[in-house]
Structure 1
């Protein structure tokens, strides 16, 4: 038995469990609504943890701990911004979007919702929003495939090409088989595994370094400014990090969880569970990077891999401090983070192609069985494109991921937010907001910059465009206003 055997066995058992859940979900999938939104049947616990896990990808256990390990607590601003943004999204959007999508044609996707909400007979909103989803999420999927490949490559010494297919295969399998229910149920398992890993690891690291006082003393000895949250920070820098929270209002894979809740009454409990999970995970991930500074200061002889790549700090601590079987479980948490986000993105892309192109334009009278199998085929198609994009990990297309979050946040965020709280909003306002948000992000990122995260000007200008074009437009139709009022009444009755 080699040192890698326990980790390999753990990974295989974990992946087999995920595929088993996919097969169970397959038996519950009867129509397209089941495949895309789980038949709107998620309870508060699954809604909460599925929304959290689909949000927190590999950066939670690799990117953020690595940044904190390198720079100290000054990197924690992004975590604060994410907590605020996620809470506001649950508070203002989650419940309202659940009832609005049901009152507007029982919409299954965001493009479907926009089309019905604004009575867009031209279907230009459907086409544009579906294209935005396909472009940004295919790139996102490629980054998830790369993250999974890097994990298999570093853990088992595989070649990158082999690791690429190994990392993607399991996620594709359970998403293909079970659709939304499989993705949501596996997300719940994965979220549980992630929080277990992120609470246990920093505690064990602190014990291994000698306790609270020696740990903090070692961090201070390495660099006293590690404790300074404003180290090297500017006002624009801090605002830019916190502005990541604005992105939540426009992320289709998170908004789909709200739409899939079994009832608007589920949302308040789901909000409490999700926020508690998220705060504990973010405290854990910052602590892993921060306490890792102390451990590798005290044990410089094993710091080589982390010095070479700080994003390996969680992986190396798990390998060094835990029994190989426990380390295998902890490293499965990274796989869980990658798989949970990748599966959601594959399914959202499949939904856009199936519901918003195939059914809307090609086969309006397609049977439910046909649509489910088209959805499965689209999962394979998007996955294949993502793997081809990821085949060269240095490919510049993966650099686009850095502003895909901003693209969704600015193009969809203000439209979603105002569509559920402002009855006077019109189709032209929605279209103007999408276009202005998307264009501002791209232009700002490539030509202006100024050190300011592009989601800020994108979100502000898109909001102004929605309000301006809606007020200049004629009032929404009586039927549009009645649907909005009925949905708002149902929401307020809870």
Structure 2
């Protein structure tokens, strides 16, 4: 690995820029609200792009293009499900959650919001939801570190152990120093880099394969069923892939972006920007994998790395078709996707430990400076645990991502969605929803019932549990008055 390697130089410049942004954000971080939610100061562009970048991990540039390359358009159902789910989340949850968290104790985290919204004096709701966040997100963080390590390992020929630390170090640095503002500002840069890579690459692949008509003929010649959206799928299979969209309602790192918006008025514009970004990125991802079929069928001598690991299709096309300096920028987009998601997950875990355990149960009188530094220490702690989990490349952590997405989607999704649209939801209903949702996912996954993705029964059963248990009691007058005030605020300002 030469120091003059253009890809390496590009990576180093990119990482240095991200850390510099972290130090810039450090100057604007004065209290725990700044560190966890950026002082609720995000404008519509940063809200939109940071929500998108925190959502799309290395899966966007490695996993999905690889699946399309192997199986054709039948793998694109998951992209359709994600687009529908993200849009509904922006439409029904984003603005309402922004005002509800402000009216309920100016809540900084989801457990904090649940505790205030349902007047949970016992602390049980806060503890259970914080534990769910820590368990699933530590696994999530580990999967991000593995993805970053794989990128460094394959691009620079590093050992897995060295790549593990190289991939994680920069993300930990800017998250530790700058907190939420650093994560949101870097997410905006990373989202821009990702969309640039995913719009440019398929266009260049098309030109290299002779244009649309020639490309489609080559794909059809390789296997006509590549165009079949229902190839090797069943009704349950399609529903399972579409079901990924349900997960959006319960992802703490995405919901935090809604909570951090500067006002409800920013949400509508942010929704339009975010959905445009998402549709273009997912379209580009599908195109990279699909057009890659034509390119490598026409150039079989170059296809060996992709044959060995189909998730390398974007990496190989970037290295083959572009100048090394441009390729370095495009490959940095994969690093951007990994870093943007990992940084958000580290911060959410830090927030849960600092706000929902340390401040609530250990040091209620802690100063803002103390809480910010505890938050930074928690980023390091979670990162080190995640690195330890990721240390064995055979630990199949990446396979747990869909499990964690389902866990959050079923445990928190119905609680968040119903809490912002139904005034009569109660504390016991929220508890029942979290417990039933999480338990259903675990049981369904274990027994692999009907071949259906576990988020779907988990979401349905949790929603029923919330409604039935809430009907057995009644919300307090304080809960009703805060809900009404927040809803009025939302209607006036949307």
Residue number in structure 2 paired with 1:57:
57
**How far did 1:3 drift?**
9.6
Residue number in structure 2 paired with 1:391:
391
1:339 and 2:342 matched: no
Q: 1:190·1:340 contact (CA, 8 Å) conserved in 2?
A: yes
**How far did 1:232 drift?**
1.1
For 2:300 and 2:53, locate their aligned partners in 1 and report how far apart those are by CA, in whole Å.
Answer: 34
Residue number in structure 2 paired with 1:228:
228
**How far did 1:393 drift?**
1.5
Aligned CA distance change for structure 1 residues 4 and 245 (closer, same or farther; 3 Å): farther
Q: 1:72·1:226 contact (CA, 8 Å) conserved in 2?
A: yes
Q: 2:143·2:397 contact (CA, 8 Å) conserved in 1?
A: no
For 1:449 and 1:378, locate their aligned partners in 2 and report how far apart those are by CA, in whole Å.
Answer: 38
Matches within 5 A, 1:103-252: 103-252=103-252
Residue number in structure 2 paired with 1:277:
277
**What is the number of residues matched between the two proteins?**
493
Residue number in structure 1 paired with 2:354:
354
1:330 and 2:330 matched: yes
For 1:390 and 1:154, locate their aligned partners in 2 and report how far apart those are by CA, in whole Å.
Answer: 17
Q: 1:3·1:324 contact (CA, 8 Å) conserved in 2?
A: no
Residue number in structure 1 paired with 2:479:
480
For 1:144 and 1:324, locate their aligned partners in 2 and report how far apart those are by CA, in whole Å.
Answer: 26
For 2:210 and 2:301, locate their aligned partners in 1 and report how far apart those are by CA, in whole Å.
Answer: 17
For 1:322 and 1:442, locate their aligned partners in 2 and report how far apart those are by CA, in whole Å.
Answer: 45
Q: 1:93·1:417 contact (CA, 8 Å) conserved in 2?
A: yes
For 1:246 and 1:423, locate their aligned partners in 2 and report how far apart those are by CA, in whole Å.
Answer: 22
Residue number in structure 2 paired with 1:400:
400
Residue number in structure 2 paired with 1:83:
83
**How far did 1:394 drift?**
1.1
Residue number in structure 2 paired with 1:310:
310
**How far did 1:142 drift?**
0.2
**How far did 1:449 drift?**
2.4
Give per-residue Cα distances to partners, 1:68-119, cap 9 Å, x unaligned: 0000000000000000000000000000000000000000000000000000
Residue number in structure 1 paired with 2:292:
292
Q: 2:3·2:9 contact (CA, 8 Å) conserved in 1?
A: no
**How far did 1:450 drift?**
1.5
**How far did 1:396 drift?**
4.4
Aligned CA distance change for structure 1 residues 214 and 4 (closer, same or farther; 3 Å): farther
Name the SS of the counterpart of 1:493 in structure 2.
helix
**How far did 1:428 drift?**
0.2
Name the SS of the counterpart of 2:231 in structure 1.
coil
**How far did 1:400 drift?**
2.6
Name the SS of the counterpart of 1:218 in structure 2.
helix
Give the superposed CA RMSD: 0.9
Large movers: runs of 4+ above 3 Å = 1-4, 396-399
For 2:291 and 2:396, locate their aligned partners in 1 and report how far apart those are by CA, in whole Å.
Answer: 33
Residue number in structure 2 paired with 1:255:
255
**How far did 1:395 drift?**
1.2
Q: 1:4·1:156 contact (CA, 8 Å) conserved in 2?
A: no
For 1:94 and 1:216, locate their aligned partners in 2 and report how far apart those are by CA, in whole Å.
Answer: 40
Residue number in structure 1 paired with 2:418:
418
Residue number in structure 2 paired with 1:10:
10
For 1:91 and 1:201, locate their aligned partners in 2 and report how far apart those are by CA, in whole Å.
Answer: 31
**How far did 1:398 drift?**
4.5
For 2:182 and 2:29, locate their aligned partners in 1 and report how far apart those are by CA, in whole Å.
Answer: 10
Q: 1:57·1:341 contact (CA, 8 Å) conserved in 2?
A: yes
For 1:87 and 1:396, locate their aligned partners in 2 and report how far apart those are by CA, in whole Å.
Answer: 31
For 2:222 and 2:448, locate their aligned partners in 1 and report how far apart those are by CA, in whole Å.
Answer: 37
Give per-residue Cα distances to partners, 1:105-157, cap 9 Å, x unaligned: 00000000000000000010000000000000000000000000000000000
For 1:4 and 1:111, locate their aligned partners in 2 and report how far apart those are by CA, in whole Å.
Answer: 48
Give per-residue Cα distances to partners, 1:281-308, cap 9 Å, x unaligned: 0000000000000000000000000000
Name the SS of the counterpart of 2:450 in structure 1.
coil
Q: 1:7·1:327 contact (CA, 8 Å) conserved in 2?
A: yes
For 1:397 and 1:196, locate their aligned partners in 2 and report how far apart those are by CA, in whole Å.
Answer: 29
Give per-residue Cα distances to partners, 1:333-381, cap 9 Å, x unaligned: 0000000000000000000000000000000000000000000000000
For 1:148 and 1:471, locate their aligned partners in 2 and report how far apart those are by CA, in whole Å.
Answer: 47
**How far did 1:402 drift?**
2.5
For 1:397 and 1:297, locate their aligned partners in 2 and report how far apart those are by CA, in whole Å.
Answer: 32
Aligned CA distance change for structure 1 residues 108 and 163 (closer, same or farther; 3 Å): same
**How far did 1:397 drift?**
4.7
Give per-residue Cα distances to partners, 1:310-331, cap 9 Å, x unaligned: 0000000000000000000000
**How far did 1:401 drift?**
2.3
1:42 and 2:26 matched: no
Unaligned runs of 5+ in 1: none
1:267 and 2:276 matched: no
For 2:238 and 2:397, locate their aligned partners in 1 and report how far apart those are by CA, in whole Å.
Answer: 27
**How far did 1:467 drift?**
0.1
Unaligned runs of 5+ in 2: none
Q: 1:99·1:264 contact (CA, 8 Å) conserved in 2?
A: yes
For 1:51 and 1:385, locate their aligned partners in 2 and report how far apart those are by CA, in whole Å.
Answer: 25
For 2:215 and 2:470, locate their aligned partners in 1 and report how far apart those are by CA, in whole Å.
Answer: 57
Q: 2:146·2:398 contact (CA, 8 Å) conserved in 1?
A: no
For 2:4 and 2:62, locate their aligned partners in 1 and report how far apart those are by CA, in whole Å.
Answer: 20
Name the SS of the counterpart of 2:451 in structure 1.
coil
